[in-house]
Amino acid sequence: MLQSRLKPVTAFAAKPSPLVAFVTVIVIGVVGFYSLHFPFRSAASLDASRFDHVFLSSSSNATISSYLRALTVHPHLAGTKPASLTARYVLNHFTGLGFRTTTARYRPLLSYPLRSSLSAHFSDGSSLEFRLGEGEGNGEVVAPYHAYSPSGSAWAAAVFVNYGREEDFRLLAAAGVGVAGCVAVARSGGGVGRGAVVEAAERHGAAAVVVFGDGDTWPRGFERGHVMRGGIGDPLSPGWGGVDGGESLGLDDNEVLRRFPKIPSMPLSSEAAERILASLGGAPLPLDWRGTLKSSKVRNVGPGPTILNFTYQGEMKVATIENVFAIIKGREESDRYVLLGNHRDAWTYGAVDPNSGTAALLDIARRYAILLRLGWTPRRTIILCSWDAEEFGMVGSTEWVEQNLVNLRSKAVAYLNVDCAVQGPSFFAGSTPQLDDLLLDIIKKVKDPDSDEGTTIYQNWAAGGGKSNIQRLGRVDSDFAPFVQHAGVPSIDMYYGKDYPVYHTAFDSYNWMTEFGDPFFQRHVAVTGIWGLLALRLADDSIIPFNYVSYADQLQVYNDKLSNLLDKQISLHPLTASIQEFASAAKEANEESEKLRLQENSDHFVNMKIRALNDRLMLAEKGFLDVDGLRGRQWFKHLVFGPPRDQESKLDFFPGIADSMSEMFKMSEKERLAAIQHELWRVARAIQRAASALRGDLA
């Protein structure tokens, strides 16, 4: 049974477990002991490893479970009243722990469904009206829809387009299958997002699109999501925070209109999709598609003879969203910020996405409160961030980053993101490369929740590839994107479990988590431990624990890959030389760090040197930003990590170069080579800027 059928509980009012009460008593006793026997001992003099130990040992599976239960009593779609209540719950939690709290409200353009229908009309004269919804939640769950889809209808033949990639449309065309005027039926996956699927179908003349989840997706589940294109954030305030009373573009503005598809789309359950696809005639299903398709009943791709009657009506409206923050002010460098962020809004109940992460954030706050009572104060300021409207395209975090861009670029040490803390087994993480070594060091201290007693996460990771397991942050699928790709803030993203079958469906409930995702909440405890310890190191180490040698190594890997892909007429010398320069600067920074650690606390002059080095370590990432951004996509400023325009690109790095390589069919050979060479020079200059920032030198 799903949570909506459980005995009701008071929303957003989780009682502390007996274990929490016991820990609280112990903490009060420890605080009293220190107050009586060490009245003059400062927090700075206490061993940092002791605080790490207290942080890890104060974990509580039951407490995290209670947070998640409270957060998922009701669906809480951004811009709705339940979403506002969830914000109040998080705010009250932070306030109750004694933290200074603040909120940031915005008025972005969001999108909601009004009505929709879909029926299939078969060649034998029969028809079937599909039920568009999972039948869960007593009407609380929003109907399946694609946010920012235009309203529209179609009465047209169905045609199967596989993942909706360009290569799929080319294969259909080669088989003589036309898509124009049809309703395209696509399955999610294949490395392309739903927005790109709709855009490609529109380009090939489709009248409408339905997208279903294949693979391990629950048969009756509808995968909600947005189909906005061309960037992230509020489409009415591209590049600036959409504050109430500020500048806002009109819905008829060309820059706004280009963000939305021109043909309607909606999600479909795999159960309904199989019924449609099994009825198609026309060209046979390509063997490559058949090998990865879950259903064995699909034999042909169409078009027809099955006709789909598709109708969707929605509305776009400005709604209020709210980011919530808890602030722990630093004692020595209060103007330097370590940020931990997770989004709070969900398409439905959101037990996995995102509130497994929200529950972890709340537990970090609880544990930090324990440390504060023991006398700890971070060297740098820590900010816990609860974002809103992420599901509509990272709206809440993007608006806040845009509004605070200057301060973030000059004062943010790092951003640590957790979206879905737990989706299933196995730990995954991505980072900007200067944080690789810190990440590996931290996971050596946290027990693996899926292994024998005493085994750390690092031990299993090392057996599976070690540092090579770390992903990079060029995607635009969570709240790290504005920090890395627009503001140039060093970042980490982490989670347990690669995929899960109830993604964006009404089945993403507390019950699913307790039955399948993490029954004993051990994985939640592990993510919370890693997340909190990372922030403690970044906030408390006198010298920020960045290693840019790892960055130089990663850039060299990218250079080697490019040499195998690019035409020999293109010179890689500018890139190779800039990477060598950056590697030299990174080595010098490491050597300086080691010398200053040995001299630490010797005099005020050394402290000033440490501060100057930290500034350079922080600012080096900003060197990879380009003021003009990517060509045609100026919001994306990072020239190393960012999304390529073509989601089927062979490059998941150097997005400007990737764009030039993908657009070769639009220009002559001479123009293509010149465009790629220019983008390569831009990357080389960015790497040189980062090297100069790391050295602190003027050219």
> Is 266 in a helix, a strand, or coil?
strand
Closest CA to 166 of 204, 212, 207, 213: 204
Other C-beta atoms closer than 10 Å to the C-beta of 1 total 9
Q: Are residues 148 and 248 in the same domain?
A: yes
Q: Work out the number of other CB atoms within 10 angstroms of the CB of residue 428.
A: 15
The pLDDT value recorded for residue 691 is: 98
Determine phi and psi for 580, rounding to 5 degrees. -60, -40
Q: Are residues 490 and 529 in the same domain?
A: yes
Q: How many CB atoms lie within 10 A of CB 472?
A: 17
Please check whether residues 363 and 407 belong to one and the same domain: yes
- Give the per-residue pLDDT at 686: 98
List, in sequence order, the alpha helices (H) in 160-286. Answer: 166-174, 194-203, 254-257, 270-277
Tens digits of residue pLDDT in 593-602 = 999 999 987 7
- Return d(Cα 519, Cα 538) in angstroms, integer: 31
Catalytic residue among 390, 391, 581, 679: 390
* Domain's final residue, options 294, 318, 342: 318
Both tokens assigned to 420: 């879905």
Q: How far apart are CA 350 and CA 478, in angstroms?
A: 15
In a domain, 175, yes or no: yes
Together in a domain, 271 and 360: no
Burial class (CB in 10 A: 0-12, 13-18, 19+), 156: buried
pLDDT tens for 263-306 read 999 999 999 999 999 999 999 999 889 878 888 899 999 999 99
Reported in sequence order, the residue ranges of 319-361 that DSSP labels E, i.e. its strands, are 321-328, 333-343
Q: Tell me, what amino acid is at 430?
A: G
- Per-residue model confidence (pLDDT) at position 27: 38
Between CA 210 and CA 195 the distance in angstroms is 12
Distance CA 306, CA 492 (A): 47
Classify residue 39: in a domain, yes or no.
no
Note the pLDDT tens digit of each residue in 200-233: 999 999 999 999 998 778 899 999 999 999 889 9
pLDDT of residue 217: 84
In a domain, 690, yes or no: yes
Question: Residue 40 above 60 pLDDT?
Answer: no
Q: Mind listing the pLDDT tens digit for each residue in 339-383?
A: 999 999 999 999 999 999 999 999 999 999 999 999 999 999 999
Answer whether the bond into residue 305 is a cis peptide, omega within 30°. yes
Is there a contact between 659 and 631 (Cβ–Cβ < 8 Å)? yes
pLDDT confidence tier of residue 466, bands split at 50, 70 and 90: low
Name the band, by pLDDT with cuts 50, 70 and 90, for residue 13. Answer: very low
CA nearest to 535, candidates 494, 487, 594, 476: 494
Residue 524 confidence (pLDDT): 98
Are β-strands 333-343 and 380-387 bridged in parallel, bridged antiparallel, or unpaired?
Answer: parallel
Residue 454 placed within a domain: yes
Please give the pLDDT value at position 3.
35
pLDDT digit string, tens, across residues 147-171: 999 999 999 999 999 999 999 999 9
More confident residue, 534 or 17: 534
In a domain, 17, yes or no: no
pLDDT in tens, 626-667: 999 999 999 999 999 999 998 888 899 999 999 999 876 678
Question: What single DSSP character describes residue 516?
Answer: I
Residue 276's CB: how many other CB atoms inside 10 A? 24
What is the average per-residue pLDDT within 52-77? 96
Q: Do 423 and 326 share a domain, yes or no? A: yes
Please identify, among 512, 540, 568, the residue that sits at the C-terminal boundary of a domain: 540
> Which one, of 352, 344, 349, lies nearest residue 321 by Cα?
344
Let me know if 333 is a catalytic residue.
no
Residue 41 structure tokens? 């001992």
Number of separate domains in the chain: 3
Where does residue 240 rank: exposed (0-12), middle (13-18), buried (19+ CB within 10 A)? middle
Helix then strand then coil, in percent of the chain rounded to 5, is 40, 15, 40
Residue 468 sits in a domain of what CATH number? 3.40.630.10
DSSP run (H or E) holding 328: strand 321-328
Statement: residue 89 has pLDDT above 50: yes
CB proximity list for 170: less than 8 A, separation 6 or greater: none
Q: Which pLDDT band, with edges at 50, 70 and 90, does 8 fall under?
A: very low
Same structural domain, 194 and 285: yes
CA distance 343 to 83: 11
Neighbours of 635 (CB within 10 A): 18
Contact at 8 Å (CB) between 691 and 585? yes
Query: Is 450 found in the same domain as 306?
Result: no
* Average pLDDT for 177-197: 95
Return the CA Rg of the chain: 26
What is the identity of the amino acid at 480? Answer: F
Q: CB of 472 within 8 A of CB of 493?
A: no
- CATH code: domain of residue 301: 3.50.30.30
Tokens linked to 83: 């979403």
Whether residue 403 is found in the same domain as residue 285: no
Helices 522-540 & 48-57 angle (0-180, nearest 10): 160
Please give the pLDDT value at position 292: 82
Same domain, 181 and 201: yes
Containing domain of residue 187, as a range? 110-318
Mean of the per-residue pLDDT values of the chain: 91
d(CA 506, CA 350): 8
Distance CA 500, CA 216 (A): 8
The pLDDT of 76-100, averaged and rounded, is: 98
Residue 21 maps to a domain: no
In angstroms, what CA-CA distances link 505 with 144, 502, 515, 534? Answer: 8, 5, 16, 32
- Asked if residue 222 and residue 154 are part of one domain, the reply reads yes
310 & 337 share domain: no
Across the range 531-539, mean pLDDT stands at 98
- Return d(Cα 653, Cα 557) in angstroms, integer: 11
One-letter amino acid identity for 637? K
| 2-11, 238-247, 350-359, 623-632: least confident range | 2-11
The mean pLDDT of 221-249, rounded to a whole number, is 94
Q: Write phi, then psi, for 660 (nearest 5 degrees).
A: -65, -35
Is the residue at 3 inside a domain? no
Q: Is the pLDDT reported for residue 193 higher than 70?
A: yes
pLDDT at 32 over 70: no
Q: How confident is the model at residue 7 (pLDDT cuts 50, 70, 90)?
A: very low
- φ/ψ bin of 311: left (φ > 0), alpha (ψ from -120 to 50), beta (otherwise): beta
Worst-scoring range by mean pLDDT, 580-594, 599-613, 659-673?
A: 659-673
Condensed to tens digits (0 to 9), the pLDDT of residues 490-531 reads 999 999 998 899 999 999 999 999 999 999 999 999 999 999
pLDDT at 173 over 90: yes
User: Which of 518, 540, 562 is the endpoint of a domain?
Assistant: 540
| 420, part of any domain | yes
Residue 309 pairs in a beta bridge with 119, 155
471 has pLDDT over 80? yes
| 8 A C-beta contact, residue 401 and residue 344 | no
CATH number, position 657: 1.20.930.40
Domain check: are 345 and 204 in the same one? Answer: no
Alpha-carbon distance of 660 to 609, in angstroms, equals 42
Q: What is the pLDDT of residue 603?
A: 78
Nearest to 546 by CA among 591, 624, 490, 484: 490
Residue 94 has pLDDT above 60, yes or no: yes
